[in-house]
Chain A
Amino acid sequence: MPPNDPVFQLEGLTVRAGDKVLLQDVSCDIQQGGMLCVIGESGAGKSTLLKAVQGFLPATCRRLVFTPSGTDITGAVPTHPGLPQTRWVMQDPLAALNPRLTLGASIQESLYRQNLTVQERKSAVLAALEDVQLGSEFYSRFPGQVSLGQAQRACLARALIARPKLIFFDEPLSALDALVQKKIARQMEVLRRKTQTAYLVVTHDLGFAAAYADKVLVLRMGQVEAYQPCDEFIAAPASPYAENLIEAARSLGTLSHASEAA
């Protein structure tokens, strides 16, 4: 597949709850191995977008194409949870891991649909742990025995182990402290380049978006405010609201910092 073809294409996604419109006419696409950042204030519909695409909310779209699984939907998004060949990394890693299962057991569940032997699964998990820079001793640790950053790494391993073509991230860094944020952001980037997995990242962090994203989608109250390539977005934001966002990030210093880090 030529790298310029989008693996994921969404046109005109609309989500309603009763007569309230949560998301209106959202369109976006992601290239193979590309990264789209979805930005917006709380309640703007960022997480709603993820849930709708995964089939956890009733939603309609003009078209939803996901080439790796041959998905091509028009109209209602199927409510069966989970787009095939995608994974979802959540905001709070400790909530996303069963406290009564070891990290190894939790990561293995990602391989549930594939028929592997116990031994194959175990070695796959160990390889995935290594990919996210966790030692093999984490295989038998419980979520209560590791730090937040390590738990989020385990979640990343759980997402990557199944070799999905697209990973949804729901504010993957906002529960972590700054140093760990930076480390895990770098790790995510390294793994994206290595595996050519596309990322769709919901985030508050403009600095992160500026450093790593190909494209940026800004949502506000369920409407698209801006949808631009990242450099263009930073240089010439498409709307006054987006301009404000960048201004705010500059004055807080988050934007310049992360750009330097990249």
Chain B
Amino acid sequence: MSEVLLQKGAKLPDSPLSRFKRRTGLVLAVLALGLCIGLWLTPYQPAQADFLNRLAPPEPAHWFGTDHLGRDIGTRLLYGAFWSLGLALVVSLAGLIAGTLVGLLAARSGSFPDALLMRVTDSFFAFPELIAAVAFAGLFGPSTVNLVVALSLVSWMKFARLARSLGLTIGERDFVIQARLNGLTDWLILWRHILPNVLPSLLVLWTSSWSRTILAVSGLSFLGFGVQPPTAEWGAMLLDGKPYMQTAPHIMIFPGLAVLVSVLAINLAGDRLRDVLAQTR
């Protein structure tokens, strides 16, 4: 009988979630360490031109070759990770936080504010992500800041919808009723009971949002609406290499691979997180 099995001092089995957290933490630490070591070991600067060695294919001195100005592509990829992944991280985190706030407020604040907030959300949904960012860049000029603002403006709605629907279901659960009977304030119930139970699902959504935003940042930079050359953003590097696609394809291949691998890795991690959460529930 389980009542007996879990008696004093019994060691509890490792939950899949804590294992996932530990492994993900390890992988992230290794990646961050690799990035730092790479930046520390490389003898080049990301904007350091070498006109005598332009368009060089991969060779021992330049593992990933050089671009049309003779800049080391490997070094630029390392620096570019901060731009591509970092900007997308900022945008998707902004979306996560704003969307969660809007969704939970809508779920907990009565029918009129709920309807109002959700209609605003719906109207933001009407803007296609990339078109909205292009329009924003057209209005305010292409720059990194404008890119972040534009993408953030259209990245929060999915979170708001999910947070609202989960907030409504969890708000009906017995433990929330108990908290209300015990006189906890609405804010405390939101913070202690609803948010922790909503957050895991939102984090799964957030991983997919992060990876899609990486594509959006790189895509917009490639189109010239985002991060501007000579900044070593992966999309901007693709744009740099476009004229030499026939003669020196490695200039485009490596940044493209970097985008592909990082998006794939984040998506796979998100899938795994979803599976783990489904198990623990």
Query: Which positions in A face B, CB cutoff 8 Å?
Result: 54, 56, 81-82, 87-88, 90, 92, 95-101, 106, 109-110, 112-113, 135, 137, 141, 144-147, 149-150, 158, 179-180
* Cα–Cα distance between A180 and B8 once the two chains are bound (Å): 18
Q: Given that A145-B6, A147-B2 are known contacts, is A109 also in contact with B182, CB under 8 Å in the complex?
A: yes
B197 touches A144 (CB 8 A): no
Which residue in A82, A92, A100 is a CB contact (below 8 Å) of B174?
A92
B184 touches A98 (CB 8 A): no
B59 within 8 A of A: no
B6 touches A109 (CB 8 A): no
B192 touches A112 (CB 8 A): no
B272 within 8 A of A: no
Q: What are the nearest 8 A-B pairs in CB distance? A: A100-B196, A147-B2, A82-B181, A96-B174, A95-B174, A98-B175, A113-B183, A109-B182
A101 touches B192 (CB 8 A): yes
B175 touches A95 (CB 8 A): yes
A98 touches B197 (CB 8 A): yes
Q: List 29 A-B contacts (CB under 8 A).
A: A56-B177, A81-B180, A81-B181, A88-B178, A90-B177, A95-B173, A98-B175, A106-B175, A106-B178, A109-B179, A109-B182, A109-B184, A112-B183, A112-B184, A113-B182, A135-B8, A137-B8, A141-B12, A144-B15, A144-B280, A145-B6, A145-B12, A146-B6, A147-B2, A147-B3, A149-B3, A150-B3, A158-B178, A180-B3
Q: What size tier do the contact residues of chain B reach? A: 20 to 34
B1 within 8 A of A: yes
Q: Given that A147-B2, A150-B3 are known contacts, is A54 also in contact with B181, CB under 8 Å in the complex?
A: yes
* Cα–Cα distance between A149 and B3 once the two chains are bound (Å): 7
List the A side residues contacting B68 at CB < 8 Å: none
Instruction: Looking at the assembled complex, report how far the CB atom of A112 sits from the nearest CB atom of chain B, in whole angstroms.
Output: 5
Instruction: Looking at the assembled complex, report how far the CB atom of A101 sits from the nearest CB atom of chain B, in whole angstroms.
Output: 7
- Number of contacts between A and B (CB, 8 Å)? 68
* Cα–Cα distance between A95 and B15 once the two chains are bound (Å): 20
* Cα–Cα distance between A94 and B192 once the two chains are bound (Å): 17
B193 within 8 A of A: yes
List the B side residues contacting A149 at CB < 8 Å: 2-3
* Cα–Cα distance between A81 and B181 once the two chains are bound (Å): 6
Q: Mark B1-19, 1 if CB is under 8 A from A, else 0.
A: 1110011110010010000
Instruction: Looking at the assembled complex, report how far the CB atom of B185 sits from the nearest CB atom of chain A, in whole angstroms.
Output: 9
6 extra interface residue pairs, beta carbon distance < 8 Å, beyond A82-B181, A137-B9, A179-B1: A90-B178, A98-B197, A110-B182, A113-B182, A149-B2, A150-B6
